[in-house]
Amino acid sequence: MTSRSRLTPRAKGTHAPPRRFAWAQVAVGCAFFLLIGRLYQLQVMSGDYYLRKSADNFVKELELPATRGQIRDAKGRVLVDNRPAYNVYITPRFFNTDSFTKLKKYLALTDEQATALEVRIASKRGLDRFRQFLAFEDITRDQLAVLESEKNDVPGVAVQAVAHRNYPHGALAAHMLGYMNQITPEELSDKRQKADALNYHLGDYVGRAGLERQWESFLRGKDGVERIVVDAKGQRKDGAEREALDTFYLGGPQRSEAEPGNDLVTSIDLELQKKVETALSKHKSGAAAVIDVETGRVLALASWPEPDPNILTGRLSHAQAEQLNTDPLRPMMDKTLRENYFPGSTFKVVPTIAALEDHLIDPDAIVRCSGGLRFGKRYFRCDKAHLSVNLNFALAESCNVYYFELGQTLGLDRMARVANDLGLGAPTGVGLNSEVPGLVPTSDYYKRIAGGFQKGVVLNTAIGQGDTKVTVLQLAMAYAAIANGGKLWVPQIVERVQTADGQVIQEFPPRLRRQLAASADMLQKVRAALYDAVNHPPPHEGTSFRARVPGLDVAGKTGTAQTGKFHKEGEEGDENNSHSWFASFAPSKDPKIAVVVLIEHGGFGAKASTPTAMEIYQGYFDLQKGLSAGPAAAPEARRAARRAQ
């Protein structure tokens, strides 16, 4: 058979394939190879990455809040701890309209609360939609029961048991202990500039006052986190299915445990604190401090009235906040540290020390008091005509005329120097509640700030009036220094920081601020006069003689600090009344504690503050007798102390 010539015509009905068909075959082949390459890239080269991306649709993170550290008293008794509470968390990715309707019903949300929740959910973007956030805290037991029984019908909603801050003694020591509330977005933004920023989230609680704020970094602890696999409703699988899903998507359980916060052990005596506040509660408004004179440790510190930190650390309503902030007795004000007052005659120890230190007077020289002193065009009053007094009885009887004349001898700046040496006019260093410094005026102060120096201010300063201001704690530390022979301590409340199981992390020994310039002999003369102020009978009757308690060896000084124009004292609480002071220590021969009491608008010092202080001393010595009565005394206190060691 001969082959057909290329020139031979093709049979009818046959055609050569078009060239574009060949190109189409090439294009399909290239596309196929590109598809194979892309599949290889997605499944082989980037398979793990996209598996994780897809897993994000059904993997959510649960926060594991750290347990906040406790605050204990010196004997190990709990002042602040945590109680179980239940919070509602929402994961926006799984939270739908039906969930919202049911949650609003189950929790009885107001329209305002519901709107606020909608706004928060709408603000979540990207991966934040897969992260749960705190929606409602500390729900009731009834609400918990409903949500638990209906949890399968409320996608995206989870209830988690958490530790809520608890103040088991209510308002006791509220200003010193402080309270907590939620961190604000602005604060969270600020914390992101710091190393611990990732340990805080919106909805977290932070210390707002007192020890809770000052020791926040020690008490807080570190939150943990757990990643879990959930279904389309945001619910976690159970049993073997959970294990399989966790292994496939997470490579096994992913859980980082929370680290609990550390405990604070304070110098506070719980029982003594109760006695102090019981004594103060008999008045409308006041404050008190009890100091260990040999260490400077604070044994009790109270401002009355005071709010309940359980209310402040939780569901504080607008009405409650308004009531606290507008109360004329100012329960939110820490009157031991944040407020300063004219010290009145309690300040007379300052010119007394100044005069003795510089040998400017003969302490036995007699000054005549007829009830007042005319200076220029003004008449400066004394509370009565003391007739003839020397330095000792001038302090014991609180003779203003003697100190008017002494002030002129000393001058303003010499008194200021001694006041500053006693720690007045500057913060004590306790570090709580934005402590105010008070004010000790000098001649330069009046020239620069007060509009000019007038000689009459020297007389007022000598009796603790004028522009002189002190805090309760400042005065307590000053009298403790007089009592102990001249050691001015830095007041301390926290003795040590320890772990939850009692391992000591850091201890804080007493800190000496300075040794007073006054000699031991001079301070002994002052202590003798302060003893007479409480114990000397007529005719040179001490100002606290009639308020003393037989059997209590107390030395101290009353103060009646005028708050306005001189007038006859009315009923306690009258806003025109003077503030009532008593600054003291005991026992007089071997001082152990210093007690300072202030009763706002209480009138004469011996009328309100001295009896309150005597009640505190009686409580202190009763407690000391109980602790030293032998093995049978106060067994629970001793057991608590051993547990704290």
Higher-pLDDT residue of 490, 190: 490
* Residue 565 pLDDT level (bands cut at 50, 70, 90): low
The full length of the chain comes to: 645
**Residue 567 near residue 593 (C-beta atoms within 8 A):** no
Q: Would you list the DSSP string of 255-285?
A: EE--BPPPEEEES--HHHHHHHHHHHTTSSS
Residue 532: pLDDT over 50: yes
**Residue 392 near residue 557 (C-beta atoms within 8 A):** no
Residue 110: pLDDT over 50: yes
Residue 57: pLDDT over 90: no
Residue 45 confidence (pLDDT): 55
Mean pLDDT of 22-48: 65
418 backbone dihedrals φ, ψ, rounded to 5°: -70, -40
Give the model confidence (pLDDT) of 272-289 as tens digits.
999 999 999 999 999 999
Residue 24: which residues within 8 A CB-CB, separation 6 or more? none
How large a percentage of the chain has pLDDT more than 70? 83
Residue 567 confidence (pLDDT): 52
Give the model confidence (pLDDT) of 192-210 as tens digits.
666 555 578 777 889 999 9
* Residue 308 pLDDT level (bands cut at 50, 70, 90): very high
User: What are the tokens at 82?
Assistant: 């945590």
Closest-CA residue to 306 (of 329, 338, 326)? 329
504 backbone dihedrals φ, ψ, rounded to 5°: -75, 130
Q: 274 burial class (0-12, 13-18, 19+ CB within 10 angstroms)?
A: middle
Closest-CA residue to 579 (of 291, 419, 325, 339)? 339
Closest-CA residue to 179 (of 212, 205, 204)? 212
Residue 239: pLDDT over 60: no
Residue 643 confidence (pLDDT): 40
Least confident of 251-255, 444-448, 509-513: 251-255
- The amino acid present at 224, given as its one-letter code, is G
Give the model confidence (pLDDT) of 405-459 as tens digits.
999 999 999 999 999 999 999 999 999 999 999 999 999 999 888 677 788 899 9
Apex 243 CA angle, 55 and 237, nearest 5: 70
Residue 130 confidence (pLDDT): 77
3-state SS, one letter per residue, for 370-433: CCEEEECCEEEECCCCCEEECHHHHHHHCCHHHHHHHHHHHCHHHHHHHHHHCCCCCCCCCCCC
At the topology level, CATH places domain 270-306+332-627 in Beta-lactamase (3.40.710)
Same fold, 60-266 and 270-306+332-627: no
Higher-pLDDT residue of 552, 49: 552
Mean pLDDT over each residue of the chain, to the nearest integer = 86
Higher-pLDDT residue of 150, 276: 276
- The amino acid present at 319, given as its one-letter code, is A
Closest-CA residue to 466 (of 538, 394, 416, 528)? 416
* Residue 315 pLDDT level (bands cut at 50, 70, 90): confident
Mean pLDDT of 543-569: 86
SS3 636: helix
Give the model confidence (pLDDT) of 366-385 as tens digits.
999 999 999 988 899 898 99
User: What are the tokens at 189?
Assistant: 């933004």
Residue 564: pLDDT over 80: no
Mean pLDDT of 10-26: 62
Give the model confidence (pLDDT) of 158-185 as tens digits.
898 888 999 999 999 999 999 999 888 8
Residue 251: pLDDT over 60: no
- The rounded distance, in Å, linking the Cα atoms of 266 and 532 is 35
Mean pLDDT of 287-306: 98
Task: Kindly list the domain boundaries of the chain, sorted by start residue.
Answer: 60-266, 270-306+332-627
At the topology level, CATH places domain 60-266 in Penicillin-binding protein 2a (Domain 2) (3.90.1310)
